[in-house]
Every structure is written in C-alpha cells, then in structure tokens.
Amino acid sequence: MDTTDLTALRSRIDAIDARLIELLAERFRATDAVGRLKAGAGLAAVDAAREAQQARRYRALAAQHALSSTLVDQVFRLVIDEVVRNHRALADAARPDSAPT
Amino acid sequence: MDTTDLTALRSRIDAIDARLIELLAERFRATDAVGRLKAGAGLAAVDAAREAQQARRYRALAAQHALSSTLVDQVFRLVIDEVVRNHRALADAARPDSAPT
C-alpha cells in the first residue's frame, strides 16, 4: 500500500471534518437567531411544515450526491433535535414567570 | 416577528445544509479511496488508533466552536459507522473466493 496516499487522504478527511464542524457551528448560530425570533413572537419551537420541507430537500440532495439518504436523515435528525431543545430553552427563558398569584 | 429575518435565516440554513451534504459526499469519496487502499493491502476496516485520534480532535473542535461535543460525537459516530460498513464491503469484494479445494 502507498502510505503517502493514505496520509494525504487522511489529511483531506481531517480538513473536511474541520469544515463540517465549522458549518455546524454556523448553522447553530443561525438556528439560535431563529429561536430568539420565535421566542419573542411566542411561536412554537417545532414547525412540522418546515421540517417536512427540509426532509424532502435532504432526500433530493442525498440522491444528487449518491449519499445514503438514511445516513443523511439520521445526521439531520440529530442536528434538528438539538435545535428544538435549544429553541425550547429560549422559549422558556422568554416566558414571564408563572408564579402563583 | 420580522418574517423577512426568518426567511433570510432559513435560506442561510438551507445553503449551509446543501454545503454540509456536499462535504459529506466529498468525505465518503475520500474514505472510499482509503477503503480501496486498505482492501488492496489486506488491512483491517477499523483502525482504533486513528478513530481515537479523530475523537480527540472532534472534541477539541467542538469546544473551539462552542458546539455540544455530544452532538459532534454522535454525528461522526453515524458517519464513521457507515465508513466501516463500506470498508468491510470493499474488503469482502477484494478477498479471493475461499472455495474448498
């Protein structure tokens, strides 16, 4: 085996992983901004219509790039579940205290 | 709520998602090349030392970008499990038939 090739490929994979993590961070900054907008307007953390539209788009993009659509679904399920948890926390923080009167 | 802001944020999220999927596809092309090198050399599909090194790096990058390291771990666990399945399939395809003599 050409270990130079293996080393070069692994460096490329590491660079891709660093970029994936940067993009995930950028995505959470954008979804946190969405969460603050929603919390300010009293909107629900989950938007089923938006999620369904995203799921269709992920399937189309997975097919276009010859990726497993199961894998793409699972990755975004993890990400979106975390987004919903963050949005709920933002909504809870925005809600006025409901102490008994 | 400013729906223009929400629309702009969602467009940005969609653009990030398209880029994430492109990068995942690029990553699988690189890992498939690694799998072919390994299969040709008869090397194991799983490399525990490499995986441990990657896990340390993911934790450092997650911390650097203020991302949940649990989420980052889970995302890469899904990706790496798929890579190992692909490497095993490449190794099986490369192995000569072991028909009884």
Spell out the residues 6+ positions from residue B78 whose beta carbon is closer than 8 angstroms to its own: A71, A74, A75, A78
Question: What is the percent of chain A where pLDDT is above 90?
Answer: 76
Whether A60 has its CB under 8 Å from any CB of chain B: the answer is no
pLDDT category at A99 given cuts 50, 70, 90 is very low
pLDDT category at A45 given cuts 50, 70, 90 is confident
Lowest model confidence (mean pLDDT) among A9-18, B17-26, B35-44, B51-60: B35-44
Give B44-87 pLDDT, tens digit per residue. Answer: 888 899 999 999 999 999 999 999 999 999 999 999 999 999 99
Measured over the CA atoms of residue A66, residue A68, residue A71 and residue A72, the dihedral's sign is: positive
Residues listed for chain B: 101
Contact (CB<8Å) B37/A9: yes
> Would the pLDDT of B5 be above 60?
yes
Residues of chain B with Cβ-Cβ distance to A37 below 8 Å are: 1-2, 5-6, 9
| pTM attached to this predicted model | 0.90
| Check: complex ipTM more than 0.95 | no
* Alpha-carbon span A17 to B31, nearest angstrom: 12
Residues A57 and B14 sit within 8 Å (Cβ to Cβ): yes
Q: Give the CATH fold of the B3-93 domain.
A: Chorismate Mutase Domain, subunit A (1.20.59)
Q: Please name the amino acid found at residue B27.
A: R
Whether A57 has its CB under 8 Å from any CB of chain B: the answer is yes
Whether B34 has its CB under 8 Å from any CB of chain A: the answer is yes
- By C-alpha distance, the chain B residue nearest A62 is B21
Min Cα separation B99/chain A (Å): 26
Min Cα separation A62/chain B (Å): 7
Contact (CB<8Å) A23/B20: yes
Domain ranges of chain B: 3-93
Give the CATH number of domain A3-94. 1.20.59.10
* Residue of A18, A43, A66 lying closest to B25 (CB–CB): A66
pLDDT at B62: 97
DSSP per-residue codes, chain A: --HHHHHHHHHHHHHHHHHHHHHHHHHHHHHHHHHHHHHHHT--S--HHHHHHHHHHHHHHHHHTT--HHHHHHHHHHHHHHHHHHHHHHHHHHSPP----
If phi > 0 it is left, if psi is from -120 to 50 it is alpha, else beta; for residue A100 that is: beta
Spell out the residues 6+ positions from residue B57 whose beta carbon is closer than 8 angstroms to its own: A14, A17
Residues A45 and A84 sit within 8 Å (Cβ to Cβ): yes
What number of CA atoms fall less than 13 Å from residue B93's CA on the CB side?
10
Mean pLDDT of chain A: 91
Count of other CB atoms within 10 angstroms of residue A39: 20
At residue B70, the 3 state secondary structure works out as helix
